[in-house]
Structure 1
Amino acid sequence: MWGRNAFTCTRIPSKFLSRQRLVLSSAQNLYSPAALGMNGFEHARTKVKQQFNTLESKFKDKMKEFSDPAATSSTIFTEDLKHMVHLAEESDLPMLRQMMTKFSSQNKDLRFGSFIFGPVVMRMYYFLNQPQEALEAFKDPSLDGFFDQLVTFQVLMDLLLKNEMYDEVLEVFEHVKGKQLQGAKFPKNAVVLAFAACYKKNTPEAHQYAKQLWSDLNAIGHYPMRRAATFAAALAINQNEPGVALEILSTVQRQTYVTVRNLKVCALADLGRPDDALPILRNVLEFRDSPADGQSHTFYKEAITKMDSSVQKSNNPELTTEYESVLKKLVTLKLVIDDSLDAQLCSDIEAIQSPQRRDGQAPFKRDFRKGGSGGNRPSYRPGVRDLL
C-alpha cells in the first residue's frame, strides 16, 4: 500500500518522451441522465406541468407573493416547493431561491414530512443547465444542510464538469470531504468527478492535486473506481509523468480492460520501453477469439502512434521487425481504431439495475463501449418516486 509519499517518481525529461499527448475533447457530462436521476425528474416535471396546465401562471404569482421576505404571515409548504421545483423555468430561479430560503428558515414544527429537497432541486438546476445558480444556492449559508446528500453533490459536480467549471468541481469536492456524510470522507462518485476535473484541467497544479488525492486515498486503504484510476493515469501521461501513470494503473484489478491496456501502452512508450509494451499488443492477438471478459480488444490510434515513435527511437532492428509484424496483424484484424481514447475515458457512467443496494447507494457500471446501456432502478412506490 502506498503512503503519502507514494509519488516520488522522477519527472522524465521531455526529450525522451514521445511528444504527442492525449487529445482532450470538449466538456460533457460524466454520469448518464439515468445515473443522475434525470429521467425520473423529467417525467415528474412533465406530469406536474400537465397537472397545472393553465393554472401554472396563477400558482407562480401566488408563490412569488408568499416567498416575499416581507410576507411574514405566509408559509411555504412542502407541496408548494415540490410543485415549484418541477414548474420552474430560468426566469423563476430568483423567486424559487427565496422560497427555498423561507422554507428552510420556517419553524421546523410546521414540517412533518420527510421529503428531502436537495437532490430534486439540484436536478432542476441540471435540467435548466444553470451551474452558477446551482453553486450559489449550494454555498448559501441560509440553506446550510439543505443540500447535504451524496447524490446532490454528485449531480452538482457533474453539472459543473459539463460546463467546464473545473475549479468549482474541486471546490465542491473539498466541501464534500469536510462534511463526511454517512461517515464517508471520499464518496466514490465524488472522487471520480474530482479526478475527471483534474484530467480536464490538465495543468501541473491539477496533476499535483490528483497525486495528493490518490495518495490520501491509498493511505486509508481506499482503492478508487477504475474510472478514477484511468483519469489520474491519463493526466499523469499528459503531464510527462508516465511512471506515475503506471503505478496508478497497477492498482486496477482488471489489467486487460480497454482503457487500462491503452494507457499502459502509452506510458511504457513514453518511458522508452516499447519492448515492455509489445507483449500487451501481442496478448490481444492471443485472446481476441475468446474474450473472457466480453470487452473489445482494440487499441486506439493514439497509443499506436506513441509506440511507433518509441520503437523508432529505440534503434533496435529486432524489436522493430517484431513490432511491425504484430501491428500488421492488429491492423488486418481491425483492432486498431481511430476513435479517441479521451472519448472512451469520458464515456457515460450508466446506472444499472440491481435487486440489492450496497452502502445505501445505487451501483453503477462503467460503459466504456459503444452501444452500452444502463437501466433504471424500478420504482418501489409508483407515483411517489415521480417527485423524488
Structure 2
Amino acid sequence: MIKRGVVVIHLPFVYEGVVSSFVSMALRLFSFSGCRSFLREHISPKATLCALRQSGWIESRLGAKRHLLSDDVVKLEDFQRKKLAVAHLITGSDGNFIELYGHKLQRNSLLLQDELHVLLHLCRSAEDMKTARDAVYRYHAENRNGKYKFGPVFIRLCYELGLEKMAAATLTDKEMRGFFSDFTSFNIGIDMLFVKGYYDDALEVLQFMRRQRVPFNKETLMLASAVCYKLNTTESHAICTSLIEEAQVKGRSVTRHAYCFAVALALKQNDVQRAQALFAQIVSTDRICQNLKILLLVMSGATQEAIVDLSSAVQLSKSPSFFRKPEFSQELLDQMRLRIVGEAQATEAEQVISELERAGQVTRQTLDDMLCHTPTAPKRKMAPIVREKRTSRRIRKPLHSTLTSE
C-alpha cells in the first residue's frame, strides 16, 4: 500500500520491521525519477562491473550471451543495475529476505505485489529461483487481474541465471495463462533457448504462444525464422514460409534478419525458387545479403553472374580505406568451387577468388556465424542536465550580484 509517497509493507513473520524498512527503501528506487537519480549517484558503470564480477553475474551472463536480440530489447543490463541498486540498500539482508519469504509461502500468507517486486530483484541463484517460481505461481493464482506484469522480470532472471528449462516450462504452463500476457517474455525466453541450442523447446514455446493468441511482433517473427532455420526440416521450412507469408498479407513488418534466415533455410532445403522470392523482398546490401546472393546465384545455376559480382567486390578493394569492402565466407567460396568443377567458368572463378584472398576480403566466418550474430543496439543519448539560469537577462551579470546592488 502506497500513500503520498510513503510505502507501507506488512510482513507477518519474523524481523517484520527490519525487512519492511528494506522493502520501503528498495521500492523507492522504482519511482520514475528516484531509480534514475539513485543509479547515477550511487551505482556508477565501474561500480556495476566490479559488483557483477564479485557476485558471479559476469559468469552467468557469459552462459547467456545474446545471439539474436539486442540489448535494447532484452534490457538485461538495465535489469541488473536495478538488482544492484536493491542489493546496495539491503546489503547483508537479501538472503534473510528470501528465506523469510519462503516461510511466508509455507504459511500460505497473503502475497503483496511490492514484496514480490523486491524478491525478484534479490534472486541470485537457482535455489533462490525456486522460491521465486513458487511465489509467482501463488501470486498469479491470487491476482489474475494484477496491474503490474511480472512476466518479463521473471524471464530476465531465468536468462541471467541460465535457467532456460525453468523459463520454457513456466512459459508453456497452462496454469500461468495470462501471466505472460505479451510478446516480451516469450521473445526473451525463445532467444535464451535458441542460444543454448534448445530449438525444439523454442518451437514449442512459439506454438504455445500461437495457441494462446499472443500477438507476434517483428522480433518474434525473426526468432521464429531463426529457430526454423536451425531445425532445418521440411516441417520447419513450411512453418517459416507460412509465418512470413501471413505477415506479408496482413501488412506486418518483416525484418531483414527474418528474411535472411528464411532464405538460408530455403537454400538448405534446396527450395531455390522460394529462396529467390524471399530474397527479392530484401532491400539491403550488407555482408549477410551479399553472401546469400552469391550462394543463391550459384545454386540457381547463374554462376557467371556470381563471378561478375565477386569481380566487382575485388574492384572495391582499391577504394579508399574508409570504404567498407565486401567480405565473403571461405566456406561459401569453397562450396562455389565444388559446384563448378569441370565447368568453363572454373578457371575464371578461381582467379577472382584468389584476388579476393589477396585483398583480405575472405573471412573464416561461416554464413551461419553471420546469421546468428548479436545486432548492435542503437546508443541511447542521455538527456542533458539543465542547470537553473543564474544570470540576469537585462545586464548579463550574475543574478545574486544584481539583486544585492539594487
Give TM-score, length-normalised by structure 2: 0.71
Match for residue 376 of structure 2? 350
C-alpha displacement of 1:161 = 1.0
C-alpha displacement of 1:34 = 4.8
**2:130 pairs with 79, 94, 99, which one?**
94
Match for residue 246 of structure 1? 276
Residues 1:329 and 1:108: Cα distance change in structure 2 (over 3 Å):
closer
Identity fraction in percent? 25
C-alpha displacement of 1:189 = 0.3
Residues 1:240 and 1:148: Cα distance change in structure 2 (over 3 Å):
same
Measured in 2, the distance between the counterparts of 1:378 and 1:78 equals: 31
Residues 1:186 and 1:56: Cα distance change in structure 2 (over 3 Å):
closer
Match for residue 31 of structure 1? 69
C-alpha displacement of 1:301 = 0.9
Amino acid at match of 2:271: E
Q: Number of paired residues?
A: 318
Amino acid at match of 1:260: C
Cα pair 1:257 1:295 within 8 Å, conserved? no
Cα pair 1:258 1:296 within 8 Å, conserved? no
Residues 1:44 and 1:344: Cα distance change in structure 2 (over 3 Å):
same
C-alpha displacement of 1:322 = 3.4
Measured in 2, the distance between the counterparts of 1:213 and 1:41 equals: 31
Amino acid at match of 1:307: M
Measured in 1, the distance between the counterparts of 2:103 and 2:74 equals: 33
Cα pair 2:329 2:363 within 8 Å, conserved? yes
Measured in 1, the distance between the counterparts of 2:87 and 2:383 equals: 21
Cα pair 2:68 2:223 within 8 Å, conserved? yes
Measured in 2, the distance between the counterparts of 1:267 and 1:48 equals: 52
Amino acid at match of 2:117: K
**1:55 pairs with 87, 93, 96, which one?**
93
C-alpha displacement of 1:179 = 4.7
Match for residue 276 of structure 1? 305
C-alpha displacement of 1:107 = 5.5
Check if 1:129 corresponds to 2:155: no
Cα pair 2:229 2:265 within 8 Å, conserved? yes
Check if 1:103 corresponds to 2:139: yes
Cα pair 2:158 2:166 within 8 Å, conserved? yes
Check if 1:262 corresponds to 2:291: yes
Measured in 1, the distance between the counterparts of 2:166 and 2:382 equals: 31
Amino acid at match of 2:98: K
C-alpha displacement of 1:377 = 7.1
Cα pair 1:45 1:87 within 8 Å, conserved? yes
Check if 1:336 corresponds to 2:342: no
Partner of 2:340, secondary structure, is helix
Residues 1:246 and 1:295: Cα distance change in structure 2 (over 3 Å):
farther
Residues 1:334 and 1:228: Cα distance change in structure 2 (over 3 Å):
same
Measured in 2, the distance between the counterparts of 1:213 and 1:323 equals: 37
Give TM-score, length-normalised by structure 1: 0.74
Q: Within 5 A, what are the aligned runs for 1:177-326?
A: 177-181=210-214, 185-222=215-252, 224-254=254-284, 256-288=285-317, 295-313=324-342, 315-316=343-344, 319-326=345-352
Cα pair 1:230 1:249 within 8 Å, conserved? yes
- Please identify, of 153-162 and 243-252, the stretch whose mean Cα deviation from structure 2 is larger: 243-252
Check if 1:170 corresponds to 2:206: no
Cα pair 1:35 1:350 within 8 Å, conserved? no
| Gapped regions of structure 1 (runs ≥ 5) | 1-26, 353-374, 381-388
C-alpha displacement of 1:290 = 5.6
C-alpha displacement of 1:156 = 0.8
Residues 1:298 and 1:218: Cα distance change in structure 2 (over 3 Å):
same
Cα pair 2:291 2:332 within 8 Å, conserved? yes
State the structure with bigger RCO (CA 8 A, min sep 6), 1 or 2. Answer: 1
Measured in 2, the distance between the counterparts of 1:321 and 1:160 equals: 45
Residue by residue, what CA displacement relative to the aligned partner does 1:24-58 show, whole Å, maximum 9, x if unpaired? xxx96322445311101111222222322222232
Residues 1:220 and 1:107: Cα distance change in structure 2 (over 3 Å):
closer
C-alpha displacement of 1:63 = 0.8
Partner of 2:264, secondary structure, is helix
C-alpha displacement of 1:379 = 8.7
Cα pair 2:229 2:262 within 8 Å, conserved? yes
Amino acid at match of 2:132: L
Measured in 2, the distance between the counterparts of 1:378 and 1:144 equals: 38
Cα pair 1:195 1:210 within 8 Å, conserved? yes
Measured in 2, the distance between the counterparts of 1:186 and 1:144 equals: 17
Measured in 2, the distance between the counterparts of 1:251 and 1:258 equals: 16
Cα RMSD (Å) of the superposition? Answer: 2.7
Cα pair 2:275 2:296 within 8 Å, conserved? yes
**2:112 pairs with 77, 83, 102, which one?**
77
Match for residue 45 of structure 1? 83
Residues 1:379 and 1:165: Cα distance change in structure 2 (over 3 Å):
farther
- Please identify, of 220-229 and 76-85, the stretch whose mean Cα deviation from structure 2 is larger: 220-229
Measured in 2, the distance between the counterparts of 1:290 and 1:67 equals: 67
Cα pair 2:313 2:326 within 8 Å, conserved? yes
Cα pair 2:225 2:240 within 8 Å, conserved? yes
Task: Give the ranges of 4+ consecutive aligned residues of structure 1 lying more than 6 Å apart after TM superposition.
Answer: none
- Please identify, of 215-224 and 334-343, the stretch whose mean Cα deviation from structure 2 is larger: 215-224
Measured in 2, the distance between the counterparts of 1:116 and 1:217 equals: 27
